[in-house]
């Protein structure tokens, strides 16, 4: 079923013009029409969609067809960056609401139906008179996940993909640290509210990722409550049943997650793919893994990583590059001549073009010192251990970093003054030091009791004595680990230059809340228990047994 094509309104044309100016994508080529359509699925339900058709001069064909699957509605804001900006430049677009959202039939169960539904959308497109014979896919975040679900079984007529900040593995995002990522609760809160919920613009904004300052106080209290599952259940009621399935399945290899993981797509995809991320994105690790696996297979893949958060990396700052990519690989009428990897080097505040990521590097070790120092000099054998206590009832707060909301590069100087944090700071740099790749730490670490987590962050202290975050890692520790052996933790990859006069800072804590569900310090399940025990963490310093290893970029 389909409605009549509707010409673009004056107000939408104005919004399109202003939005394109902000994105820097150049002038429009045409106007367009929008047609409401219904797309039948194999189980009998219909997905609601809008078909965008450019109004081109006679005998001029569209530049190509773009397929977008979206669970966040098809309203003005989100349709602009995912469909309308392309329609006004000559592309057709099919903008589909995910099953169970914004008029589409069925029940929304994140990640479980995208693989089959995307194939059904493709089958429907092939039957339409306007189908040009091939298409590209596009869209950030969950829209990117839907693309990976399609590429689980790549259609022959899918010839390119643009995937900004898009995960391929929902299980890893929720549980790969061993602790539950609590942004799954705020996202589930947004996704489980009725599409027509009243309350005004700000009320709806309060549930959008990236706007944590507007989140309901009730949700914040629910996340803080113990037991966690019981507290969330009281808040959600019968909403977001998937959230409680997430909580129930911490093992990422459990069969529950099978339909929500698409590592096989990285082995089967063989089309040009543009990946976009940010150093402070929620899914940076997954995007870099996608690039590395596809690049190793010889796939035509490009990576862009900016100084961006999740929302910023969704295309707001990379639309000109996306347009160039589609012009070559979909419209066959342009040239995309970027390097395989283009990354923003924080500290030097410049873009770097590279043939691969990470580039060659040379590891250098900085040793943790007594009295909170860190440097290239080995501490003496008599250096005393450093310790702190993590209290589950007063957890170390999440400040900046790769949070879905409230993240990014921030002033994190406050950590150095907390008693539940160890901060090791170097002397001022006497020459520039540029790192590219994956820093890691070797820590001779003990915890009492053994049930504990570690959060480690690399930061830079500037010449005004203000600290800003660069990269980090979180890990729920194995209580059966051999504490006589050093613990190795890899921080997320980064690209940063420490300028002369700045200082290296390593921050170590036992939690990062509310980004991650806190360690309770007991053998009981952190999701279902309310029993807590403070945990004493001790780091051995003597002889250089605890160290930070930095990947120093090789001279070009």
Band the pLDDT of 335: cuts 50, 70, 90: confident
Quote the pLDDT of residue 1. Answer: 64
* pLDDT higher than threshold 60 for residue 531: yes
* pLDDT higher than threshold 80 for residue 20: yes
φ/ψ (deg, to 5) at 487: -95, 125
Chain centroid offset of residue 210 CA = 12
Architecture per CATH, 144-168+262-357: 3-Layer(aba) Sandwich (3.40)
pLDDT tens for 202-222 read: 334 444 444 343 457 899 999
Percentage of the chain exceeding pLDDT 70: 96
CB of 192 closer than 8 Å to CB of 242: no
Domain boundaries, the chain: 1-133, 144-168+262-357, 177-260, 361-553
Statement: 1-133 belongs to CATH 3.40.50.300? no
pLDDT higher for 240 or 203? 240
SS3 230: helix
CB of 458 closer than 8 Å to CB of 471: yes
Q: How far is CA 152 from CA 115, 168, 412, in A?
A: 7, 10, 40
347 — alpha (psi -120 to 50), left (phi > 0) or beta? left
pLDDT tens for 77-121 read: 899 999 999 999 999 999 999 999 999 999 999 999 999 999 999
Band the pLDDT of 354: cuts 50, 70, 90: very high
DSSP letters of 251-289? -TTSGGGGGGB-HHHHHH--S-EEEEEEEE-TTHHHHHH
Query: Helices 217-224 and 183-191: crossing angle, nearest 10°?
Result: 140
Strands 445-448 and 453-461: unpaired
Chain centroid offset of residue 522 CA = 30
339 — alpha (psi -120 to 50), left (phi > 0) or beta? beta
Strands 31-40 and 6-7: antiparallel
* 314-320 mean pLDDT: 94
- Which residues, 6 or more positions from 420, have their beta carbon under 8 angstroms from its beta carbon? 388, 389, 390, 391, 394, 396, 509, 510
Residue 112's nearest CA partner among 158, 71, 83 is 71
Residue 23's nearest CA partner among 314, 407, 306 is 314
Band the pLDDT of 196: cuts 50, 70, 90: low
DSSP letters of 178-224? SS-BTHHHHHHHHHTS-TT--SHHHHHHTTSTT-GGGS-HHHHHHHH
Instruction: Please indicate whether the domains covering 1-133 and 144-168+262-357 agree at the CATH topology level.
Output: yes
- What DSSP designation does 346 have? B
Quote the pLDDT of residue 204. Answer: 40
Q: What is the H or E stretch that residue 39 is in?
A: strand 31-40
CA distance between the termini of the chain? 59
CB of 511 closer than 8 Å to CB of 395: yes
Helices (H), 315-439: 319-329
pLDDT tens for 145-173 read: 999 999 999 999 999 999 999 999 999 99
pLDDT tens for 432-457 read: 999 999 999 999 999 999 999 999 99
- Which residues, 6 or more positions from 487, have their beta carbon under 8 angstroms from its beta carbon? 441, 442, 443, 444, 445, 454, 477, 481
Please give the CATH topology (third level) of the domain spanning 361-553: Jelly Rolls (2.60.120)
What's the rounded Cα separation, in Å, for the pair 5 and 7?
7
Residue 426's nearest CA partner among 494, 489, 373, 484 is 373
Sheet containing 467-476: give its strands across: 421-425, 503-509, 453-461, 467-476
Chain centroid offset of residue 348 CA = 24
Q: Is the pTM of this model over 0.85?
A: yes
- What DSSP designation does 416 have? G
What is the torsional sign of CA 488, 493, 496, 502? negative
Residue 473 tokens, joined: 């890692």
* pLDDT higher than threshold 70 for residue 58: yes
Quote the pLDDT of residue 319. Answer: 96
Band the pLDDT of 389: cuts 50, 70, 90: very high
């Amino acid at each position: 079923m389909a409605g009549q094509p509707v010409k673009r309104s004056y107000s939408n044309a104005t919004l399109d013009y202003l939005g394109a100016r902000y994105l820097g994508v150049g002038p429009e080529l045409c106007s367009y029409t929008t047609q409401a359509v219904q797309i039948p699925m194999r189980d009998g339900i219909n997905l609601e969609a809008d078909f965008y058709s450019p109004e081109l001069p006679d005998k001029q064909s569209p530049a190509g067809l773009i397929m977008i699957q979206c669970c966040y509605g098809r309203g003005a804001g989100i349709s602009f960056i995912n469909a309308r900006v392309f329609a006004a430049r000559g592309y057709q677009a099919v903008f589909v609401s995910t099953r169970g959202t914004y008029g589409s039939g069925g029940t929304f169960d994140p990640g479980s139906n995208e693989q089959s539904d995307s194939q059904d959308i493709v089958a429907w497109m092939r039957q339409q008179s306007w189908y040009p014979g091939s298409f590209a896919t596009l869209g950030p975040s969950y829209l990117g996940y839907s693309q990976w679900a399609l590429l689980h079984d790549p259609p022959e007529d899918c010839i390119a993909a643009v995937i900004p900040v898009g995960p391929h593995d929902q299980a890893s995002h929720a549980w790969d640290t061993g602790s539950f990522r609590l942004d799954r609760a705020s996202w589930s809160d947004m996704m489980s509210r009725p599409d027509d919920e009243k309350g005004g613009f700000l009320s709806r904004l309060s549930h959008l990722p990236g706007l944590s300052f507007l989140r309901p106080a009730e949700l914040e209290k629910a996340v803080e409550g113990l037991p966690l599952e019981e507290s969330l259940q009281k808040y959600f009621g019968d909403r977001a049943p998937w959230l409680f399935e997430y909580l129930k399945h911490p093992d990422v290899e459990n069969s529950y997650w099978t339909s929500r993981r698409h590592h096989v797509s990285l082995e089967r995809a063989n089309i040009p793919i543009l990946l976009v991320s940010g150093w402070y994105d929620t899914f940076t690790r997954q995007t870099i893994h996608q690039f590395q696996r596809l690049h190793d297979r010889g796939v035509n893949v490009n990576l862009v990583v900016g100084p961006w958060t999740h929302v910023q990396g969704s295309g707001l700052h990379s639309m000109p590059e996306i347009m160039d990519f589609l012009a070559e690989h979909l419209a066959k009428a342009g040239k995309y001549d970027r390097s395989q990897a283009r990354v923003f080097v924080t500290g030097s505040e410049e873009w770097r073009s590279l043939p691969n990521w990470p580039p060659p590097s040379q590891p250098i070790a900085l040793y943790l010192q007594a009295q909170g120092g860190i440097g290239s000099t080995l501490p003496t054998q008599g250096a005393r251990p450093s310790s702190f206590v993590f209290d589950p009832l007063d957890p170390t707060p999440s400040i900046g970093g790769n949070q879905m909301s409230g993240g990014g590069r921030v002033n994190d100087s406050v950590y150095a003054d907390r008693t539940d944090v160890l901060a090791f700071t170097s002397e001022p740099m006497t020459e520039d030091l540029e790192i590219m790749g994956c820093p890691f730490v070797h820590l001779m670490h003990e915890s009492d009791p053994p049930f504990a987590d570690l959060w480690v962050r690399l930061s830079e202290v500037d010449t005004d004595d203000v600290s800003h975050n660069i990269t980090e890692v979180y890990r729920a520790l194995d209580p059966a680990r051999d504490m006589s052996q050093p613990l190795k933790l890899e921080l997320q990859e980064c690209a940063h230059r420490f300028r002369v006069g700045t200082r290296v800072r390593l921050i170590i804590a036992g939690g990062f809340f509310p980004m991650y569900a806190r360690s309770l310090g007991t053998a009981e399940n952190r999701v279902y228990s309310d029993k807590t025990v403070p945990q004493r963490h001790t780091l051995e310093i003597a002889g250089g047994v605890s160290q930070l290893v930095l990947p120093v970029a090789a001279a070009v």
